[in-house]
Structure formats: C-alpha cells, structure tokens
A and B are shown apart, each in its own frame.
Chain A
C-alpha cells in the first residue's frame, strides 16, 4: 500500500475543482483517506494503481471522475536525438533499460516532492524494493549525451548523492546508507550496472544510488530519466507513469534512442470488450454507449462498436489492465458502487454444516454440560510451553515456523493441554473451582486434526474427577475405550492413565505432576484430560465430506 501526500493548492490547481469536492469523491475511485492536515491530505492508494501515486496522476483521474475532462489523455513525444547504448554483459545482471528526456520542467517545492514521492512509491510497489525496477532522475544539463548503460568493474569510483567524496562501487555498498539498504540486489554479480555519459562521467549506479553530479534541484529545467530492471513490462510502465505525470505538470516529453529504438512511445493499447460479458459480470444491464461513457470518465478512450462491443483505448500508464474484467471494474467504479441494486442471487442450495464442526459442537455441549468453560487459545505456541514445562520430550513431529516473529510463537500446537495450563496460569487470581476446556485444530507433521482438552483446578481435584469426565465424554461420543496405566511425565505416577481406543492411545488423563504445576505457577491440584478426536468412531469419514 502506498500513502501519497496531496497538497490541496497543487491538487486543486491541477484538478480544477475545490478540495472538498475532490476529497469527498476520492474514496470512491479506490482510496482511503488516512489523515487530513491543514495544507494536505495523506491518502492511501492500492498497489495495482501506481498511476495514482502522484498529485498529477490523482488530478488526471479526478478530472475524469468529476466529469471535468473525460476520455483518453494524449501525450506527444518528440525525438530528443539523444542515444543510449547498452552493454550485452548486462543481460545476466540487470537487462532492461528505459529512458526519456523531460524538458521544460518548472520545479517548485511541491512538484519536486510529488515526483520524489512517486519515485519512492514506484520503487516499492512496481520495483519490489528496487529489485525489479529502479528509477534515476538526473539534471540533463549537467552531463553530455550520448549515454551508456554498462557493466562496470566493482572498483570504479564516483561521488554518490549526499557525499562529498568519491567511493568505489564496493565502497558504496559498504558505506552509503542506500548501498547498505540495497546491496543484496547486486552484491553477488562480478560486474555492477553503471550509467555513464559521453565523457565517462557517472550518472548512476542502478539500482543503488545516483551520482551527486546530476542532482535535481529547483533550478533543473531538463531531466534525463533512466529506469533499469529485470522485467521489461515493469520498466516500461514505470517510465510511462513518470513521464505522463510530469507531462500533466506541464513538461514536454522527448524520446531517447536505446540501441536504435525510440522510447518511450506513451502509446495507448487497445481492447475490444463485450457488453454482454460486462453486464453479466456486474449484474447491471448496460448499453454500449453507456459503457463507453462510463469508461471515458475513467480516462479510457472508448467508442461503441456495433451494439455488442466497445472498443477501449487503455492509457499507457494503466499497469493494472491485464484482462477485460479489469476494464469492467472501472465501469463499476464509474457507475458508482453505491448505485448498484444490491440483492442476493436466486441460487438454490441446501445448507449443511461440516461434520467436523458438528462433532466439535457436540464436544462443546458435553463439556459445557459437565460445567466446563470454553477457552480459545492460540494454535501458535513454543517448545517451552508445549514440551519443557510439561516434562515431556520435544516432538520431532512438531511443525516449526521458519521465521518466527517472537519466542512465544515458534510452532503450531501438537496438544491443547499445555495451553489449558497456561489459561489457568493467566487466571490464577480468579475464584476456584476453575473448569476449562478447549477444542480445535492441532498439527502433526503437516496434518491438521482435532483434539479436546479439559482441566479442573481446585482443592480436591483428583484422578477420579478426570476419569469421570473422560468416561462421560467417551460415552456421549459413542467411543468405547479401555484404560491402561500411563507413563506421561506431565502427570503424577500412579495417577495417570492412557485412553485406549481400538488398541491405540487416544488420550491421557490424571492428576498433573506438581513440578508441572510449579512450572505454570499453579498452587492447587489440577485434574486434566486430553482426547484425540480422530479416535471418535467415523471421524475419518467426516474429513472428506461434504
């Protein structure tokens, strides 16, 4: 998500409407107003619309949405005569280059901030943190064309932005803040990408940092844009978005010949869409002229083609139009989400609860009937709680997360009982007796299944209480069982039993071991049980249905 700062004065000037009108309607093209400040608004736009990451782009869209200026915006591109050559060695490093010359810019504080903000947002959203695309903006008049995009030895040096001395490319990665931030993108290559002019002066070390020499200031009148990256489409869209935004701000765009091909073209692309498909998708009957009208308000070029089709011209800055339905969403936005006649479809179907959910519901009702309160602990936990505090060996079957965010959550629970003791610990100052249970998912290996666990904490909690609960639960679940002495170290020796179903251990119950109680800071006896619900007759038939 990108948050864009919109200064009211500049936004009003570019849009041709007052800020109240703009701010009221802005959320309805797909944005969220984060903050309203005295002189500007901070607005969040969706990552699929990088063309809205500048004041100029927002104004362009709002002029259409408010009906001030509709249809396809056109941009003329003259050749600059400037050429750019690329080094074939870059094919394996950072193959794609885009460029443009932007003339007659009149940069003031607001437009510089807008362009910097746009560049930053594009780096993140389109450029994936500069790895996919990186953008350099240079003062054209401080360098000499033609330009070369080369693969350079890492020892080459120049003065990077915000420094007063030259550093080698390796030195930049080690010393410059931007170098340290983005080193991981290039550090494994033997040669580094570099952009130099006719005099071999360095413009930029993409995707890391520009040279101090081409710094853009309010005095800058002509700009050279370079975009480099690993994805042709992303590189082009970044150029298109920056050039058209600056053109909206009053600049003129000129093309650069890269290896003989003039870029950018800033040309629209065309799609012919079916009005039947559009009407069906939206659930609203729209005619070809209506659809064309709505699309022009979204700044598409659009003309009906017969009764059944609309020919749509997609502006070059729209990165999100991959499919006809992307165009239909714009029809819906222009139509207004609030104007749809919202109503459920007549689809006939018979509802059914999932059998495992039904089983869990039965377990809940049995235990509530036995006086237990339900808890809903996290399924994420850690080995200390799950095994160490229980005096149980760590399970090799436990599912660990690769990059835990805290020591508390390093694995998915394999049992629920330890979490119930944690719940007692969290409630130790509350009135006794406390009888708590939880049922839900556990994971062993990668398999999810269900368990239930209950604890009873009070002065006379004992083995027979746990046994009685297990017996009641098993009877009500139609689960015949036997018991045998258990060796589970979480319980007191001689006061613990395994629940056996069809010859397999399906649970355990008894009196919690005093050392375990102490580990959970509990001061009263606890009778406890845990049952594997996969032992309930018919469980395995429940999983696959419905």
Chain B
C-alpha cells in the first residue's frame, strides 16, 4: 500500500499524524504548498480511506467602496443625527456640512426624527447606535445587515474551507510505515537539494534530505554516440588489427588502370561497361612499369598465361572512375610493398552504378583484405575467412566455387543464418599471376572483398540498406552500444 502512495500523500499523512485534523490552510502552510494542492492530495488519500475530507461553505460580509467610507465616517444617518442636539430649524440643518438627503431620509423613514413647522425634532430615545454596530461588526443573518447589503454598503461573501482528518486506518499506516515515521521524525519540510553551504557548514546534519520514490521512471536522456554501422565497422577493423593486419586507405577516384587493368580485367570485360561503373571525365597518368601490365593483357607477359589477346588501349586505362572496389587500393599497396610478408585490409566505400532499392545503394562499404607471404595457399585463404566470420559470431561458414576476373582459384564464402539459410557474403581468391607478376610481387596473394552492409543487415536487423545512410535518429538513439552475445570472437 505504501508503495502506491504518492510522496505528497505521505507528507500529508505525516503532517496530520500529530493533529488528528486540520484545515487545508494550516496544512498548506505546514507543507509549504497551496490549499488546492493539499485538497488534491487529500482527495487521493481519501479515496484510499486514509483521511476524511470535509467541505464547509462559509458566509461572511465584506464592504463596498461606499461601505468602507461609512466605516470611517459613520453611516449617512449617523452623520445627520449627530449634527444637532434636540431640535433644529430644518433650514439651519440643511446648511450644516454633515447634512445629506440619504441620511435625513433614513432618519425620517425609521422615525428617528420628526419634522413639524420647519423644525426637526429627535424622537425620544432614538439612536443610530445599532445600525453602526451592524456596519462595524456584521453578524451573518442579521436584519440590519441585510438592509445594509440592500443599500449597497455591505457585500455578502461565500467561501469554502476544507477540513482534513486522519482516519484510524491512516493513523495506523503512519505508525507502521517506516518511511512515514521517518519522515515524521525528520519533519516533513525535507530539503530537496544538498547545497555546498550545507556540506561545508555541517548544516546537512540537521537538514532532512527529502526521500524520493526511487521506483519512479527516470527522465530519458540520449548520449552522443557513434552510428551503429560505424560501431560494427570498428568491430571488424578491430578483428583484423588483432590478427596483425595493416590498415590501408586511399582515394575515391582511381584510374581505370588501378581499378581494372592492374587486376587483369580485360578492357572489354562487361564489368567495365558504363552500365555498372561511374566513369569520370578525368584522366590520371599511369605509374612507371605500366607496359608490363599491357604486355600481360596482350600476351600473358612472361607467365604461362595466354593473356586476353587483342590490343590494350592506354587511353582506356587512364580514364578515372569512382572506385568500384577497394581491391584498387590493395593492388597499389602490393605494388609499393612487394616483399613478404604483407597483411593489409581496409573497410571503405565503393561505387556501383545501381538503382537505389532496399538492398542496393550506389555506394556501400567493402571489407578488403590481402595476405602475401611465402607458403600461403588456398587452404589459408579459407582459414582467414572462417576466422573472421567466426569472430563476427557466424558459426556456420561454407565455401562455394566462385568467379572473379583477378583471382584463381576463386571462392564465395557463405554463412549460415537461422531463418535465412546460407547467405552469400562476398568473394575471395588468390590473385592471378597475371595480376602479381607485372609488379614483381614475390609470393601468392590471398585476397577477399566482403560485403559489410550484408553483415550490418544481419547484425543490426535492418531490412532496408538505405537506413544506414539516411538514418532515423530514433533508431540510432535506441540502438544500444553493447549488443548481447557480441564477444568480438573471443571464445576462451
């Protein structure tokens, strides 16, 4: 029962405990609030049977402006009555400063004076004493008072007062309840805020800190925070950093040379068509040694490859694109660091000429990774993929043959998701020798380009990719920083 009481009901009960009953005005003063508030709290407590609330209508008089004047100077009839002793010539009386028609009329009407042959006489034993009494101390219901009201001298007023009394149940509750007795003990005028002065002066010992209902719901505040997708990206970055990978970073604008040609994508390959790629009216010079890439395309260079045949066009290689994959950064990194070991990764935006719909956006993140070292092979590629996905919390991982122009063998990893089955996650493979040979890269390169937004949809429960880039603030506010069961892949 106590838990249901509002704090103010408790204060009210505590205030009543010593008094048995009190009017609202007294209680309002004691509780430092308004009478209205006291009545409201008493209504609540009364509904629970803890107090009785009695309503009384009180009648009284107030003075009109005229009345307040008479209170000072006497009623008009008193003024006339007191201006002569026994009798006076009417014409003389009319000259007197205190004469007034209302007062003289009243005296005549109530037969306190007579007028005969121009002479005014006071009637024997007459007085205005009782009328004056009624004006000064009006008694509710008196005839003279009613007349004064009628004359517009007094005003009848009506006021309502409340009397609150504690019931036996209420009293019992106060005695039983720890909270209320404590509040009683400390007094009800508790202190809301602990001040610096109270702490320094030691006044805190005597001031009673008000007790709060700690079960009430808090005010909702939203912390500033990172985007849920960025947090997921950081989680993935963390995994690769922990595995000893170097993070790489590079420009959004790439020459076709780095985006396609260096990756042995034939110049007439459909993926290079305008249909799928954002081309730019910009050109970039080719790096030293571009001729080796040309030779590889045309004849297979010095490898066992036949090459694509045909003629390789330098103009096509110089034209810029918005990078269609971060593999354009990986190959540049390898061209700069040809000596083993190289372990590098990046998570960054790539661009495809796709119409926007819930599962396609013209830009999205790709997770790129490469491992170049002596003795690395396909088995290790599968190992890295498996390790990453298991650290991301995907237990079932399987591999299907895939095809990408710059890897051989190629593989498409899939993860198992309850309710969805096997979900394709991207592509991976070992860079073809046609890719690595022109740059003098000395060992095989394991490489992968994985979909990040796919993981985000699964992990963040999104059905529409667009929400990652045009986010509802409420979704960010309400998506928790820590997700249960997200251990970052630590199992031991």
Residue positions of A touching B, CB distance < 8 A: 27-30, 32, 46-49, 124-125, 128, 132, 231-233, 271, 280-284, 322-326, 328-329, 332-333, 337-338, 340-345, 347-354, 356-357, 361, 364, 367-380, 399-406, 409, 412, 422-423, 426-427, 430-431, 434-436, 441, 443, 446-448, 546
Cross-chain contact B253 with A443 (CB below 8 angstroms): yes
| Interface presence of B473 (CB below 8 A) | yes
Stretch at the interface among B48-56, B140-148, B244-252: B244-252
Give bound CA distance, A324 to B434, whole Å.
11
* B-side contacts of A364, CB under 8 Å: 226, 230
Cross-chain contact A342 with B280 (CB below 8 angstroms): no
Cross-chain contact A343 with B383 (CB below 8 angstroms): yes
Stretch at the interface among B96-104, B118-126, B408-416: B408-416
Task: Find the B residue at minimum CB distance from A230.
Answer: B310
* B-side contacts of A401, CB under 8 Å: 278-280, 322
Q: Contacts A128-B270, A283-B378, A380-B363 known; A323 to B300 CB distance under 8 Å?
A: yes
Task: Find the B residue at minimum CB distance from A280.
Answer: B377
Cross-chain contact B223 with A368 (CB below 8 angstroms): yes
Q: A344-B387, A447-B253 are in contact. List 15 more A-B contacts (CB 8 A).
A: A30-B402, A32-B400, A48-B403, A49-B403, A322-B434, A323-B303, A332-B401, A338-B398, A340-B382, A347-B376, A354-B246, A371-B223, A373-B224, A446-B251, A546-B248
Contact of B280 among A377, A399, A406, A436 (CB under 8 A): A399
* B-side contacts of A374, CB under 8 Å: 225-227, 230, 476
* A-side contacts of B386, CB under 8 Å: 342
Q: Contacts A373-B476, A448-B252 known; A352 to B247 CB distance under 8 Å?
A: yes
Q: How far is the CB of A67 from chain B (nearest CB, A)?
A: 18
Give bound CA distance, A13 to B341, whole Å.
52
Give bound CA distance, A271 to B363, whole Å.
42
* B-side contacts of A333, CB under 8 Å: 401, 409
Contact of A380 among B246, B351, B444, B468 (CB under 8 A): B351
Q: How far is the CB of B301 from chain A (nearest CB, A)?
A: 10
Q: How far is the CB of A260 from chain B (nearest CB, A)?
A: 24
* A-side contacts of B470, CB under 8 Å: 377-378, 422-423, 426
Task: Find the A residue at minimum CB distance from B304.
Answer: A324
* A-side contacts of B382, CB under 8 Å: 337, 340, 342
Report the 3 A-B pairs with minimum CB-CB distance, sorted nearest first. A283-B377, A283-B379, A46-B403
Cross-chain contact A354 with B473 (CB below 8 angstroms): no
Task: Find the B residue at minimum CB distance from A356.
Answer: B249
* B-side contacts of A325, CB under 8 Å: 408-409, 430, 432-433
Size band of the interface chain B makes with A: 35 or more
Q: How many inter-chain contacts with C-beta < 8 Å in the A-B complex?
A: 264
Cross-chain contact A405 with B353 (CB below 8 angstroms): yes
Q: Contacts A322-B306, A325-B433, A447-B251 known; A351 to B408 CB distance under 8 Å?
A: no
Give bound CA distance, A427 to B467, whole Å.
12
Contact of A326 among B377, B379, B408, B474 (CB under 8 A): B408
* A-side contacts of B304, CB under 8 Å: 271, 323-324
Stretch at the interface among B31-39, B154-162, B178-186, B234-242: B234-242
* A-side contacts of B227, CB under 8 Å: 373-376
| Interface presence of B1 (CB below 8 A) | no
B372-396 at interface with A (beta carbon < 8 Å): 373, 375-380, 382-387
* B-side contacts of A441, CB under 8 Å: 252, 349
* A-side contacts of B250, CB under 8 Å: 448
Cross-chain contact B472 with A427 (CB below 8 angstroms): yes
Contact of A351 among B229, B241, B469 (CB under 8 A): B241
Q: How far is the CB of A357 from chain B (nearest CB, A)?
A: 6
Q: Contacts A46-B402, A343-B380, A351-B240 known; A323 to B353 CB distance under 8 Å?
A: no
Cross-chain contact A405 with B383 (CB below 8 angstroms): no
Q: How far is the CB of B471 from chain A (nearest CB, A)?
A: 6
Q: Contacts A48-B403, A376-B471 known; A342 to B224 CB distance under 8 Å?
A: no
Give bound CA distance, A433 to B320, whole Å.
42
Cross-chain contact B253 with A446 (CB below 8 angstroms): yes
Give bound CA distance, A371 to B221, whole Å.
10
* A-side contacts of B469, CB under 8 Å: 376-378
Contact of A231 among B309, B349, B401 (CB under 8 A): B309
Could you pull out 6 A-B pairs where Cβ atoms are within 8 angstroms?
A: A232-B309, A323-B434, A332-B409, A348-B341, A370-B224, A399-B253
Stretch at the interface among B8-16, B128-136, B354-362: B354-362
Task: Find the A residue at minimum CB distance from B399.
Answer: A337
* A-side contacts of B248, CB under 8 Å: 354, 546
Cross-chain contact B376 with A329 (CB below 8 angstroms): no
* A-side contacts of B245, CB under 8 Å: 349, 351
Give bound CA distance, A30 to B429, whole Å.
14
Cross-chain contact A345 with B373 (CB below 8 angstroms): yes
Q: How far is the CB of B268 from chain A (nearest CB, A)?
A: 6
* B-side contacts of A427, CB under 8 Å: 472-473
| Interface presence of B305 (CB below 8 A) | yes
* B-side contacts of A344, CB under 8 Å: 243, 380, 383-384, 387
Cross-chain contact B401 with A405 (CB below 8 angstroms): no
Cross-chain contact A349 with B380 (CB below 8 angstroms): no
* A-side contacts of B430, CB under 8 Å: 281, 325
Give bound CA distance, A210 to B376, whole Å.
52
| Interface presence of B274 (CB below 8 A) | yes
Q: How far is the CB of B172 from chain A (nearest CB, A)?
A: 46
Q: How far is the CB of B476 from chain A (nearest CB, A)?
A: 5
